[in-house]
Amino acid sequence: MKILVTTPTGNIGRRVLAELLAPEFSVRIITRSPTRLPEDIHEQVEIVQGSTDDVATLRQALDGIEAFFWCIPSAPLKTTNMREHYERFARAAGQAIHEAETPRVVTVSASGKSLARNAGPISGAHAMEEILNESGAAIRHLRGTWFMENFLGQAPQICNDGVFSYPIGGDIPLPMIAAADLADVALRWLVRGHWGGVQAVAVRGPQDLTCNAAAAVFEQVLERPVRYVEQSADDYIRNRVRSGATVHYASRLAAMFSELRQGIFRTEATTPASVTPTNLSFWAESELLPLVEPTWRQSEAAMSACSCR
């Protein structure tokens, strides 16, 4: 089976790619920077260098492909029109898929389509769905929820200050999912032949947790005090702008949190098949702890050295 993978170094794409490196699959990837890939990957896949918002690059990469893993890269901090970012990539993909007559496409989308109106990247993913639905391919849109990997963006604050914050109440439950679990669902659809039609697939983790509850999980796993502090939307926007984001980018993320407060992720029908296995405690042990523990060790070693002088 010939499979094309986009975002091969991303949170989801790299996991999909790793599982496809087997003799029964012929894997092609699109990347702007082949040097970011491990050297052994170069020897096992066919690489098309270019951007996935370029029709010619996509058309070349889709030649002879039987299944296509499609994920739009996150909007850069300097984005001035987030919706256009998602639509630009989707238009290019839709045209290339149609011209190549690609039979099956698996996308990374987001839950909440029937309610989200101004939810930044979530609404962008929903716009992508509408565009790709006109391509003529059979499609499964994997509608994930809050990715646990989002917490990694605040790993320095958790490590140094024992605190993390978003512009959402600490008592509002969010369905959380690990990127590895969504990658597993994508794999099952990619390698399964002979399915048709266009459908959305709900994908969510085993627990809905509040940020206060997440802090308690992190505290237990890290064996350090961790607390959650709600930010105001204005403070959140100012902090993101100080970190290099445009006001538009920061405002769209703040709008996303505003809609999350309204429960937009609760619109997808949940079935046993849509629930993935990884809970936040396991994820924190495998993903967060290895990231922050070396920093703590260095800090403790430095303090010990100073106390001995």
Q: Quote the mean pLDDT of the chain.
A: 93
Q: Which residues contact 69 (CB under 8 A, 6 or more apart)?
A: 3, 4, 5, 6, 13, 16, 106, 186, 190
Q: Which amino acid is located at 174 in the chain?
A: L
State the Cα torsion 83-86-89-91 to the nearest 10°.
-60
Question: Model confidence at 79, in pLDDT bands (50, 70, 90)?
Answer: very high
Structure tokens at 193: 């032949």
Interval 24-45 mean pLDDT: 93
CA distance 152 to 158: 9
pLDDT at 299: 52
Locus of tokens 């959305």 = 200
CA distance 251 to 255: 6
Q: Where are the alpha helices (DSSP H) in the chain?
A: 13-20, 39-42, 55-61, 82-100, 121-132, 155-161, 179-191, 211-222, 233-242, 247-261, 280-283, 289-307
Reported as a single tens digit per residue, the pLDDT across 111-120 is: 999 899 899 9
Reported as a single tens digit per residue, the pLDDT across 275-304 is: 999 999 999 999 999 988 776 555 544 434
Domains and CATH numbers, the chain: 2-146+177-202 (3.40.50.720)
* pLDDT for 11 beyond 70: yes
How many whole angstroms from its chain centre is CA 296?
Answer: 27
3-state secondary structure (DSSP) of residue 296: helix
Q: Is the pTM of this model over 0.85?
A: yes
Interval 148-171 mean pLDDT: 95
Interval 115-139 mean pLDDT: 96
The DSSP H or E segment spanning 209 is: strand 208-209
Quickly list DSSP for 15-59. Answer: HHHHHH-STT-EEEEEES-GGGS-HHHHTTSEEEES-TT-HHHHH
* pLDDT for 16 beyond 90: yes
pLDDT at 298: 53
pLDDT at 170: 98
